[in-house]
Amino acid sequence: MTGSYCIVCGQVLHFPGSLNRDEVDGGEARCLLCQRVDPPFERAVAYGSYEGGLRDLIHLLKFQQVRPAANVLGRVLAGTIASMEKVMPVGTIVVVPVPLHRNKKAQRGFNQAEMIARGAVKQLSRPKRFDLLTGVLVRRRETGSQIGLTSHQRRENLRGAFAVSDPTRMLNRDILLIDDVFTTGTTASECARVLLRAGAARVWVATVARTLKIADVRISALPEDLSEQDSEDRLGVAAQG
């Protein structure tokens, strides 16, 4: 995605007046939420907005089981990952798809995040730089839809849903978490926390699409469009570690 966005979580920022992003914090502008509390991941990037053709392609894969769509989505995601690569540590990056519960995976026939990750890793040319690892981050509980829940409810809904089956595989590793869509960041944050707790060094996030809501970059006053609930949610998480 191009334009003005939070350097950490990828949230679209509204720069007041004639400012452009390079004039704010040297192009490293953060949304208000990321100014207040660091998310558990280093950065979250997405290829594009969850709308139009991109949304259609994701739906083809997920709901109509059109598997070749995963290669297309993987290819575009590879470009996005490549653009983030320069700020990632040297050495091997472990690529971890957000897992589905086994019942859901059986029902769909595949995990779309895993297929997209596979497609992306194939495109990323440097051998050994990106190492796909599946089956270690697991979803041990089925979770209902996150749609319509408050941020607190979303976090409660996912609490304990993910686990690392073999922490030795994550110890001191740099992880790139992959998913199809980044909506509120609750899933990515929860996975990142579980990975860090298992000993991972750092977690990065790349998704094909993200839903966009406009946040204000101004620091001085709380804008109306920053949800207090979101902020409390992340502060609560930070307090609990």
Number of residues lying near Zn ion (CB under 5 A) = 6
One-letter amino acid at 34 equals C
Shortest Å distance, C-beta 237 to Zn ion? 14
The reply on whether position 31 binds Zn ion by CB under 5 A is yes
Residue closer to Zn ion (CB basis): 132 or 226:
226
Query: Which residue, 143 or 231, has its beta carbon nearer to Zn ion?
Result: 231
Residue 6 touching Zn ion (CB under 5 A): yes
Buried b (16+ CB within 10 A) or exposed e, 60-72: bbbeeeeeebbbb
Instruction: Scan residues 93-152 and list those touching Zn ion (CB under 5 A).
Output: none
Residues in Cβ contact with 87 at an 8 Å cutoff, skipping those fewer than 6 apart = 43
Q: How far is the CB of 114 from Zn ion (least distance, A)?
A: 27
CA distances to 3, 5, 41, 210, 219 from 25, rounded to whole Å, are: 15, 12, 20, 24, 11
Q: For residues 59 and 44, what is the distance between their CA atoms, to the nearest angstrom?
A: 22
* Cβ-based burial of 20 (10 A; exposed 0-12, middle 13-18, buried ≥19): exposed
Roughly what angle, to the nearest 10 degrees, separates helices 69-85 and 112-123?
60
Q: Contact between 32 and Zn ion (CB under 5 A)? A: no
Cα-based angle 95, 185, 162 (whole degrees, multiple of 5): 60
Q: Report the length, in residues, of the chain.
A: 241
Quote the crossing angle between the two packed helices 151-158 and 186-197, to the nearest 10°: 40
| Closer by beta carbon to Zn ion, 111 or else 189 | 189
Q: Which residue has the tokens 């470009």?
A: 79
Minimum distance of Zn ion from residue 24's CB (angstroms): 13
Residue 77 touches Zn ion, criterion: CB under 5 A: no
Asked whether position 8 contacts Zn ion by CB under 5 A, the answer is yes
Contact between 9 and Zn ion by CB under 5 A: the answer reads: yes
Q: Which stretch binds Zn ion (CB under 5 A): 30-38, 40-48, 126-134, 223-231?
A: 30-38
Nearer to Zn ion, 9 or 93 (CB): 9
Q: Which stretch binds Zn ion (CB under 5 A): 3-11, 20-28, 50-58, 162-170?
A: 3-11
* Cα–Cα distance measured from residue 69 to residue 233, given in angstroms and rounded to the nearest whole number: 35
* Minimum distance, C-beta of residue 10 to Zn ion, in the bound complex (Å): 7
Per CB under 5 A, the list member of 24, 29, 34, 137 interacting with Zn ion is 34
Compare residues 34 and 58 and give the one whose CB is closer to Zn ion.
34
Kindly state whether residue 11 participates in binding Zn ion, applying the rule CB under 5 A. Answer: yes
Query: Which residues form the interface with Zn ion (CB under 5 A)?
Result: 6, 8-9, 11, 31, 34
